[in-house]
Amino acid sequence: MSETGYKLERTSRGLMERLFEPPEIGKMSPAARVVAYALLVIWTLFVLFPIYWVLITSFKDAGAVNKGPFYIPFVDFQPTTSAWIAQFTEDSNCGLAAIARQFGLLIYNSIAWLLSPIVTLTPMEPEICKIYRAFTNSLVISVLSTILCVGVGSMAAYALARIQYRPRFGNIVIFVLLALAVILVSRYFGVHWSIASAVGLALFFLLARAFGKHFTSRLGNGDILFWIISQRILPPIVVIIPVYMMFQAVGLLDTHLALIIVYAVANLPIVVWLMHDFFASLPIELEESAQLDGATRFYIFREVVLPLTRPGLAATTLLTLILNWNEYLFAVFLATAKSQTMPITVAAKNAGEKGVLWWEMSAIIVVMIIPVILMAIVLQKFIQRGVLMGAVKG
C-alpha cells in the first residue's frame, strides 16, 4: 500500500519538480547533475588543452606554426613528423646501431669499475644522442633522488610524529659554531675536510657532555618541523653558488651523484611536511598493539604504518618526482655536459641559433611529460583510496 502510494506520488510530480528536486536521498536532481557534469567537462577541457596544444604542435611544421593558430589535424593543417625526425636524426649517434653500441660500452665500463681495485682499466666514454642522454639522465636522477628523498623524509616525518625530541638550544649553537669552524679550517688552513669533520664531531660530543646540562632552554618537535619547512622557503638561487663551490671542491661537478643529492635535499622539507600529517592522523593504538607483541620501531614503521599511508606516500612520491623531473636551476649550474637533464635540453632548444623552433621544442616536451603521466596512472589507485580504509576494527 505504501509502496503504491510512493510510486503515485513520484509520478504525480510536475515537470519542474522532477527537474530540480532530487528523486531520492543522496542523489542529485537531473538539473543539478547536468550542471555538475557540464562544469566538470569544461574544467577537464581547460586542464587538458595545454597538453593537447603541445601534442599537435609537435606534428606541425614552420608554416603551420607561424600561420596559425590551427587546432584540428587534417582539417586546419596537415600533420608532419618532421619535428620528431629532426630530434632523432640531427646527431649521428641517434641511430639504432649507435644505441646498440652503447650497451657494449656500458658493460665494459661496469667491468672496469668492478675490477678497478685489482686492475686499472680506462673507462670508455659513451657516445650517444643528446636527447637520449638527457632523457636517461633525467630518469636516473629523478627516480633515485625521489627514492632517497621519500625514504629519508618519511622516516624523519614518522619520528617527529611519534617520538618527542627535546634538544637543548645551547648544544645546537655549539654544533653550528663547530661546523663553521670546520669549514674555515678546511678552507683557509688546508686541513682535509674529513679530518676537520672528525675533530669537530669529537669536540662537539665533549662540549655537549661537559656543558650541555647547564643549558635550560629546549626545543620541541614543532620547532624542528618548522625549521625543516623553512629550508624550502629559502630561494634556491641564494645557495646555488655555495653548493657549486662545495661540489667543485669534492670533485662532483657534472655527475649524477651531485644532482641526486641536491634534488633530494631540496625536496626533503616537502616530504617531511606532507608525510608528518599522514602519520599524525593514524591511530596510535595500532602501533601500541604491535609494540605489545614485541615489534620494533622500525618493524612497526615498515609493516604497520607505511601500508596504512600508501595514499599519502603515493601522492608525496608523485609530487617529489615531478619537482625533480622539472628542476632546472641546480641542473644548469651543476650539470655542464655529461649529466644534463631534459629541462636543459628544452632550454637549449629554446635558445638555439635558429630562434625558437616551437615544433621541435614541443616534441621534446612530449617526450619529457610521458614518464610523469605514466607515474600518475600507476599511482592513481593508491591516491584515490582513503588513509585508513577501515584499519581500526573491533
State how far the alpha carbon of 284 is from the alpha carbons of 107, 162, 183, 257, 319, in Å. 49, 9, 43, 38, 27
Helix/strand/coil for 73: strand
**6 in a structural domain:** no
Q: What pLDDT is attached to residue 269?
A: 92
Please give the mean pLDDT across all residues of the chain.
Answer: 81
Residues 188 and 319 in one domain: no
Domain stop point among 184, 218, 252: 218
Q: Do 192 and 293 belong together in one domain?
A: no
pLDDT for the residue numbered 2: 47
Question: Are 160 and 221 spatial neighbours (Cβ–Cβ below 8 Å)?
Answer: yes
Q: Are residues 135 and 262 in the same domain?
A: yes
Nearest to 132 by CA among 156, 153, 101, 160: 101
3-state helix, strand, coil in the chain (%, to 5): 70, 0, 25
The grid coordinates of residue 96 equal 639504432
51 in a structural domain: no
Residues 180 and 315 in one domain: no
- The percent of residues above 70 in pLDDT, for the chain, comes to 82
The range of the structural domain enclosing residue 151 comes to 129-164+234-394
**pLDDT score of 359:** 79
- pLDDT at 356 (0 to 100): 66
Query: Are residues 182 and 273 located together in one domain of the fold?
Result: no
What is the pLDDT at residue 158? 92
Q: Among 275, 297, 279, 278, which Cα is nearest to 288's?
A: 297
The verdict on 291 and 151 lying in the same domain is: yes
- Residues (pLDDT < 50) of the chain are 1-8, 386-394
Same domain, 179 and 325: no
Q: Is residue 200 domain-shared with residue 299, that is, in the same domain?
A: no
Measured CA to CA, the distance from residue 130 to residue 345 in angstroms comes to: 8
Q: Is the peptide bond before 69 cis (omega within 30 degrees of 0)?
A: yes
Taking the complete model, does pTM exceed 0.85, yes or no? no
Q: CB within 8 A of 262, min separation 6: which ones?
A: 243, 330, 334
310 and 201 in a common domain: no
Answer yes or no: is 322 within a domain.
Answer: yes
73: phi then psi, degrees, rounded to nearest 5: -65, 150
Instruction: Assess if residue 261 is contained within a domain.
Output: yes
Give domain status of residue 116, yes or no: no
Domain count, the chain: 2
Check which CATH number belongs to the domain holding 350 and give it.
Answer: 1.10.3720.10
305 and 156 in a common domain: yes
Distance CA 210, CA 253 (A): 40
Residue 392 is predicted with a pLDDT of 41
Residue 207 forms part of a structural domain: yes
- Determine the pLDDT at residue 389: 41
295 and 357 belong to one structural domain: yes
